[in-house]
Structure 1
Amino acid sequence: MASETTEVVPRQRPTLEYLRGKRDDPNDEEYKAMLRAKWTCHVIRLKIRILRARGTVTEATLITRMGTTRSAYADFMALTEPMDGADNPTYAGGLHYFYQAEK
């Protein structure tokens, strides 16, 4: 019986620069899923309200930074259930905005 030897090739880890670029891409599905698991719509609305109450950013600036529209923002903020607005662009923009702000 012939003995087979298999050489174990160590798996190369992705570089930190690669991981940063991949994880911070708002169009990457894994990135979106990771953020959705982190914060619900309700939490994003709460974060927006806190930020606005502090007066550190204007509503117009926040809307621009989140890449949404005034009407989508108003619709999203008017909702009350934890995951109401998951398909609203304000939610996606808010996820990315607050994740970047946390860094």
Structure 2
Amino acid sequence: MQQAYGSISCSDGSILNGSGNFSVAKTGAGKFTVTINGSSSTVPTVTTSLGDPYMTATVQISRTDGGNGKQPSFGVNTGYVDQGSKNPMDIYVFSFIAIWN
């Protein structure tokens, strides 16, 4: 079983901390692609969480890829509504853990 984990800044997609075996690309407002180094025989199982307990949001895993010797990756969509202004906004930080064979 292999794993990758980390905390990502939503402002620019920078890696705040983590396992060191992945990269992140911010592909749009609230959209990220996480690519894990190496190859996998299975699609990764991924879970995510918010970095701020006061946010009214979820982190959505938009897709996963990998298996058959491919490099594992997954997409993440973030965003929430500021209850004071009702405007959609990016969350500040999200964290993830991915596990695969």
Q: TM-score range by the shorter chain?
A: under 0.3
Select the structure of larger CA radius of gyration: 1
Q: Name the TM-score, length of structure 1 as normaliser.
A: 0.23
Between Structure 1 and Structure 2, the one with more strand by share is: 2
Higher RCO (CA < 8 A, seq sep 6+): 2
Relative to total residues, which structure has the larger helix share, 1 or 2?
1
Give the TM-score, by structure 2 length: 0.23
